[in-house]
Structure 1
Amino acid sequence: MAGAARRAHTKTRNGCMTCKARRIKCDERKPHCVNCTRKGLECVFGFQQLAGARHSSYPPSPNSQTVASASPQPWTSSTSGPRSLPKQLYDASELGLLHHWSTEAAPSLNSGTAHWRIWQMDVPMIALQSGASSYLLLGLFAVAALHKAYKLERDPNYTLITTATHYQNTAIAAFRQTLPTINDGNCEALFAFAGLMVIFTFCTPHWSHVRFFDDGSSSEDHELEGSTVPWLRVVRGSQLILMSKHNTIKNGPLAPMLGEGDIRDFDYGTSKLESALAREEDGRLEALYGLWADDLTMPKHAKDALDAALKYLRRDFTNCHVAAGKPVGGSSALLIPDLSLILIWLFVVPEEFVVLMEQRQPQALIVLSYWCAMMCRVTHVWYAEGVGKAILTATRMKLGEEWIPWVEWPLSVAGW
């Protein structure tokens, strides 16, 4: 009706994960919202709410049958330091998830390297060695459930998604309490779980492009308050563990995951640009220096951070071209065999560059968009599918129109 006042839409920031996956508004009633109660669905709230509530036991698996039961003692915080999650025997559903992890999820993590064997064999052993590593086992359950949902391509009641989120919520609470007490005995479990958090962050199916930049207007929940690029803080978190206990991890079963040499070396693994496509794309990257080189208003420390980020990106583009070989079908499509060749950039860029991204500095966002172009070429790693385009979409929305010509090429790679 013309002239009628339109009711304002009130966004919800703390809705349950099931309502988010169904893309409907949640009334935020805990422990079970009205929508989930009416539909008979499991109601699970996000990382921030559950981690803050410090849930005290393992999450129940929907429709599971217990193989053997043992009443777990509540897991609570202590002034004397973090306590281990209680030991308990696992039900049939959890044993099924562990089997799925070993037989299907772990081998699918990255088809370009043999690291999946470490995820398949060594990481579960680390998780099972002691109760202190139980959060790692819950992380394996979580990613296995998400991979199972991906393989099935159907999860009508969101059972697998909510189960995965529930396991991850509980694990994160224990991980956060253990992290301040990192030592030689738990650093491998912490490092492996940080890797699982990267996978979970990328592959959780209910995210959209708004998740990648949190400006307070999004209805999405974020596990890292105070950061406007929470996904990047999650990814870089494993580096903090590695810096603290590098020698211990280097001498253990996870050592092959660290690679050879120093990943911060600008010449790390690079070879000559032999293909015309590689030279063309390196030329596009080199042109980006012009965005800030002559800017007299930009402080030197910001220029240095942008220079370093772009130099690392040129290095990693080169390594991707060398690893991929000839373009697929004579086109600009590349089959990049090892996802780590792309993800490594997120670990090595200077902290100052991350700050520039958080400040929505256009030049930093443009450099990020070229990294997204590499991610858009990943089609064989399930948890990375669509991530490059989603981040690029968010980046495009944060740039003013005067900057759009600088990201036309990444947008074309993404299929815009």
Structure 2
Amino acid sequence: MTKDAQMIKARRPHHKSRTGCVQCKVRKVKCDEQKPTCSRCKSYKTECSFLQTHPLKRAAPTVQSILSGPTPTPSIPDTPSSAQTFSRATPSPSPSILHHSLPQGNFTMLDLELLHAWVIDGAAAFLDYREADVHVFTTTAIQMAFQHPFLMHQILSLGALYLAHVNPQKASHYQHASDNHAAIGITQFQPQIGNMDEKNCHACFAFSTHLFLLAWATQDVTKPSTIFFAPTPKTDSETVNIQWVKLHRGAMQLITEFWPILEHGPMHVLFDNWVGLNPHREDPVEDSVRPHLDTLAEAWISGSTTVSEKEILFKTLGLLRRVFNLMSFVPQVGNLHVVMAWFSWIPDRFIAMLENKVPEALLIVSYYCVALKRMGHIFWLTGKSENLLKTVVGVMGDGWERWTRWPMEQVLGVDGLKEMSAADNR
């Protein structure tokens, strides 16, 4: 090769930007960090947002500390004795968009299209058409969003994802809009979660709930799942969903301080069906599931895990048993609520075990995929159980076939199991 050819082939040195705008981080492109608007955002004619670097009003967790620090383990909330001091808010009538002041800045025609899509069809499609939930997310949450722009941006992001689903020919257009609104919403959420009080806790709770939908909906089923951990060495693109997961769990930890207010506030419908459930009761499960959960612990009883790790595994398995119990015998809670709740219930140390690829922890996730599969009819969860199961089984490696066969049969089916086995033998 000539010297000139070598010079052409050589790559230019790349210096990774760590202080670029949020929009460029979401697009996974280099930002020139020009302020107030970087060159890329200027060319896209979109808002340009840089993460807050000045101190908050008081020492409080930031989004960055939430993403990197310990995360919560919310459980089924008991009805606290102090709840009697709060009066339940009367549900407001459906708000008219014309009767509210717009959030900071003005709506574009695209924003109005996204909001319309969410209110008319998107929320129902996301929430499995549960009437009470849809009402809350299309009336109460919208009303709060006009007062809290960070929540409005997130709602618009979900509306864009729905339109990308129903209009595949314009998917990239709506996906770009979704990424942009999601980035702005998360940036604006940072000071709110760090300064939570009785006035903004309802909007923060709504944001965290919507964020959960966003984290799952943006999973690419053509690539290994990153919802719990990065299956390969971490890159910027692989950590996006992991960060959103930690943000959701971290926010919920801070929000639990306001449970009594939230349970009797404008979004009380989301709590009503959980009231009265004893978190310490036994959890019988259907006969087709029970023997598999009963024998799962054999995978780690005599294994190399430590005593404390075994305790975490038993606790997490108990929470999974509760998921199957509620899905089968407590229909009023709603299967989507239950499957998603496990995501928040699992202990921080279990999340750490997943990040460290502990096989026994991955095995429990493979059984969780059976419950997740039952929600596969919802468009944003279609294929997610299969994708997550294939990812964790692939990371676990050989030697666990005795325990993984049942979840693989339930999630992939007999034909899918044969295809995966054939692929492994190539």
Same fold (TM over 0.5): yes
Q: Does 1:149 align with 2:156?
A: no
2:66 alignment counterpart: none
Give yes or no for contact 2:125–2:378 (8 Å, CA) kept in 1. yes
Distance in 1 (alpha carbons) for counterparts of 2:190 and 2:173 = 26
1:127 alignment counterpart: 145
1:118 deviation in Å?
Answer: 0.3
Q: Does 1:243 align with 2:256?
A: yes
Distance in 1 (alpha carbons) for counterparts of 2:247 and 2:302 = 34
Give yes or no for contact 1:389–1:414 (8 Å, CA) kept in 2. yes
1:182 deviation in Å?
Answer: 0.7
Q: Which moved more, 1:102-111 or 1:167-176?
A: 102-111
Give yes or no for contact 1:179–1:190 (8 Å, CA) kept in 2. yes
Distance in 1 (alpha carbons) for counterparts of 2:201 and 2:25 = 36
CA 299–121 in structure 1, closer or farther in 2 if over 3 Å, else same: same
Higher relative contact order (CA 8 A, sep 6+): 2
Give yes or no for contact 1:373–1:413 (8 Å, CA) kept in 2. yes
Give yes or no for contact 1:18–1:42 (8 Å, CA) kept in 2. no
1:102 alignment counterpart: 119
1:221 deviation in Å?
Answer: 4.3
Give yes or no for contact 1:305–1:350 (8 Å, CA) kept in 2. yes
1:183 deviation in Å?
Answer: 0.6
Q: How does 1:164-243 map to 2 (within 5 A)?
A: 164-204=178-218, 206=220, 208-212=223-227, 213-214=229-230, 215-218=232-235, 220-223=237-240, 229-230=242-243, 232-243=245-256
1:3 alignment counterpart: none
The amino acid that maps onto 1:288 is L
1:337 deviation in Å?
Answer: 6.0
Higher helix share: 2
Q: How does 1:371-410 map to 2 (within 5 A)?
A: 371-410=368-407
The amino acid that maps onto 1:315 is R
CA 350–54 in structure 1, closer or farther in 2 if over 3 Å, else same: closer
Distance in 1 (alpha carbons) for counterparts of 2:348 and 2:29 = 38
CA 27–185 in structure 1, closer or farther in 2 if over 3 Å, else same: closer
2:86 alignment counterpart: none
Q: Which moved more, 1:144-153 or 1:215-224?
A: 215-224
User: Over residues 135-185 of structure 1, what are the superposed CA-to-partner deviations in whole Å (9 max), with x where a residue is unaligned?
Assistant: 0000011000001111123326x1100110001001101112221111111
Structure 1 unaligned segments of length 5 or more: list them. Answer: 1-6, 56-75, 325-335
Q: TM-score, structure 2 length as denominator? A: 0.70
The amino acid that maps onto 1:361 is V
2:128 alignment counterpart: 111
Distance in 2 (alpha carbons) for counterparts of 1:391 and 1:11 = 33
Q: Does 1:308 align with 2:279?
A: no
Structure 2 unaligned segments of length 5 or more: list them. Answer: 1-8, 61-101, 417-426
Distance in 1 (alpha carbons) for counterparts of 2:335 and 2:150 = 27
The amino acid that maps onto 1:239 is M
1:279 alignment counterpart: 287
> 335, 347, 354: which is aligned to 2:344?
347
1:395 deviation in Å?
Answer: 0.7
Distance in 2 (alpha carbons) for counterparts of 1:266 and 1:121 = 35
Q: Does 1:257 align with 2:254?
A: no
- SS for the counterpart of 2:301 is coil
Kindly report the root-mean-square deviation, in angstroms, between the aligned alpha carbons of the 2 structures: 3.8
Give yes or no for contact 2:161–2:175 (8 Å, CA) kept in 1. yes
- SS for the counterpart of 2:377 is coil
Q: Which moved more, 1:280-289 or 1:401-410?
A: 401-410
Q: TM-score, structure 1 length as denominator? A: 0.72
Distance in 1 (alpha carbons) for counterparts of 2:325 and 2:206 = 28
Question: How many percent identity over aligned positions?
Answer: 18
The amino acid that maps onto 2:217 is C
Give yes or no for contact 2:26–2:179 (8 Å, CA) kept in 1. no
Give yes or no for contact 1:365–1:395 (8 Å, CA) kept in 2. yes
| Count of aligned pairs | 348
Distance in 2 (alpha carbons) for counterparts of 1:195 and 1:345 = 13
